[in-house]
């Protein structure tokens, strides 16, 4: 989207059309007829801009409370943090007492929305259209008086006089492929930190949740954040924003957290599967805190290289899903098929960790016809390929009681 298209959207005519489109769901079936109707009133470029914003607003409702009044580009919305994640992150800045924050590569202002709740924010971006969108997005939340846009190239911009800074660099190339190393980010992360941290030592940088630990700056603390069980981001914390631990896993919306300080003094034992299997949240796995969770649960690992835990008790924990194990057997297709049929199982969900087997192909070869359902875990147990058969335990919300082994 260019400046001319955005300017049209902000006119009274554009606003009326956007409001009308917001009252109708845009589907693949309705898209063509909507485009034809719009082109009878406005130019093709304006019709495209209207459809694009209306469609992105529909997609953004899972991320922003006021998505229906906001402006996005497709790439910016994809990279933007969900509002609960941004608000979680902004709380550290508030606890630090930061009054003036630079939001570097602020894009359409999703993070500035959260940061501006308790501080003045300078939003820096090289893209003029995104800065204009950021202004209107903050206005939708009544935060515009706390936001100052600054168009600048972060490769050249000297450090600003602020208490702290946040940066969310671009992490995809023009084809949409993820960059694997922070040096490839836009802007490149290592030189930006080298230039800014000596002058503004308190900072947070959003990085890919799949970041290689070898690429992490040694002076930073890393936090992996999941929302409703999905890992959303990793954040590197510096200076006064650090909490005093090396690694942290945080689960939203509950705010449950596990840190490197929770790690046991001795390695977690490796045993055969017991009555229950725990599948840790992805944030726990990425933060290398599986053994910390094992210590909390009194659990062991089923393999040194696999992030499944096992125990004789079922305990409701926010950090893992718990499954009752009905059987565990060395993996052989015929043996697995025979056992599933003996159990009357006709429908399976296949989960794998450490196995090269394709789940869909396995399901085709099983040829089951029972009336029960089960989960089949394809994994390793003490170095050997195994299949575990089980079902998830439906813990009541808030029930943290231990359940006796069946």
Residue 390 sits in a domain whose CATH number is: 3.30.2130
Q: Is residue 65 part of a domain?
A: no
Same domain, 281 and 390: yes
pLDDT digits 0-9 by tens, 373-386: 999 999 999 999 99
Tell me what pLDDT residue 32 has: 77
Same domain, 53 and 118: no
Query: For the chain, how big is the Rg over CA atoms in Å?
Result: 25
Same domain, 50 and 97: no
Same domain, 95 and 232: yes
Q: Is residue 271 part of a domain?
A: no
Q: How far apart are CA 343 and CA 399, in angstroms?
A: 29
pLDDT digits 0-9 by tens, 196-240: 999 999 999 999 998 889 888 888 899 999 999 999 999 999 999
Pairing of strands 320-330, 147-151: unpaired
Which domain covers residue 352, as residue numbers? 276-403
Which residues of the chain are modeled with pLDDT < 70? Answer: 29, 395-406
Torsion 291-297-299-305 (CA) sign: negative
Q: How far apart are CA 118 and CA 100, in angstroms?
A: 9
Domain termination residue (choose one: 244, 261, 292)? 244
pLDDT digits 0-9 by tens, 61-98: 999 999 999 999 999 999 999 999 999 999 999 999 99
Residue 180 sits in a domain whose CATH number is: 3.40.50.150
Tell me what pLDDT residue 265 has: 94
- 390 with 277: CB under 8 angstroms? yes
Tell me what pLDDT residue 398 has: 38
Same domain, 90 and 18: no
Q: How far apart are CA 38 and CA 26, in angstroms?
A: 13
Tell me what pLDDT residue 400 has: 39
Give exposure, 344-383, as e/b (b: 16+ Cβ within 10 Å).
ebbebebbebbbeeeeeebeeebebeeeeebbbbbbbbee
Q: Is residue 46 part of a domain?
A: yes
Q: How far apart are CA 18 and CA 51, in angstroms?
A: 8
Same domain, 207 and 310: no
User: How many domains is the chain partitioned into structurally?
Assistant: 3
Q: Is residue 250 part of a domain?
A: no
Q: How far apart are CA 244 and CA 22, in angstroms?
A: 46
103 secondary structure, DSSP code: E
Tell me what pLDDT residue 395 has: 65
Specify the length of the chain in residues.
406
């Amino acid at each position: 989207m260019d400046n001319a298209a955005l300017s049209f959207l902000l006119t009274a005519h554009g606003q009326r059309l956007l409001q009308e489109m917001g009252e109708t769901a845009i589907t693949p079936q309705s898209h063509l007829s909507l485009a034809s109707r719009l082109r009878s009133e406005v130019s093709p470029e304006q019709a495209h801009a209207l459809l694009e914003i209306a469609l992105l607003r529909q997609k953004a409702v899972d991320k922003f409370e006021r998505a229906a009044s906001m402006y996005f580009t497709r790439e910016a919305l994809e990279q933007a943090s969900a509002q609960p994640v941004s608000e979680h992150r902004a709380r550290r800045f508030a606890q630090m007492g930061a009054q003036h924050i630079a939001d570097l590569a602020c894009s359409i202002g999703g993070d500035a929305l959260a940061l501006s709740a308790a501080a003045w924010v300078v939003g820096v971006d090289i893209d003029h259209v995104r800065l204009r969108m950021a202004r209107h997005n903050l206005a939708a939340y009544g935060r515009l008086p706390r936001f100052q846009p600054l168009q600048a190239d972060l490769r050249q911009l000297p450090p600003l006089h602020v208490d702290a800074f946040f940066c969310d660099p671009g992490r995809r190339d023009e084809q949409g492929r993820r960059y694997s190393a922070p040096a490839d980010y836009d802007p490149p992360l290592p030189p930006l930190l080298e230039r800014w941290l000596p002058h503004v030592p308190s900072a947070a940088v959003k990085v890919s949740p799949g970041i290689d630990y070898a690429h992490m700056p040694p002076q930073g603390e890393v936090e992996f954040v999941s929302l409703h069980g999905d890992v959303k981001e990793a954040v590197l914390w510096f200076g006064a924003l650090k909490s005093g631990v090396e690694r942290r896993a945080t689960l939203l919306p509950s705010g449950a957290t596990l840190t490197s300080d929770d790690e046991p003094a001795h390695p977690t034992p490796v045993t055969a599967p017991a009555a229950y299997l725990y599948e840790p949240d992805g944030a726990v796995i990425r933060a290398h805190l599986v053994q910390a969770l094992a210590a909390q649960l009194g659990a062991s690992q089923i393999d040194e290289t696999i992030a499944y835990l096992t125990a004789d008790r079922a305990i409701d924990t926010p950090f893992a899903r718990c499954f009752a194990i009905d059987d565990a057997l060395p993996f052989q297709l015929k043996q697995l098929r025979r056992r599933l049929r003996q159990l009357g199982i006709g429908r399976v969900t296949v989960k794998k960790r450490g196995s090269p087997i394709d789940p869909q192909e396995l399901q085709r070869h099983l040829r089951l016809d029972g009336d029960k359902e089960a989960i089949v875990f394809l994994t390793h147990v003490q170095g050997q390929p195994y299949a575990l058969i089980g079902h998830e335990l439906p813990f009541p919300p808030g029930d943290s009681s231990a359940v006796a082994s069946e």
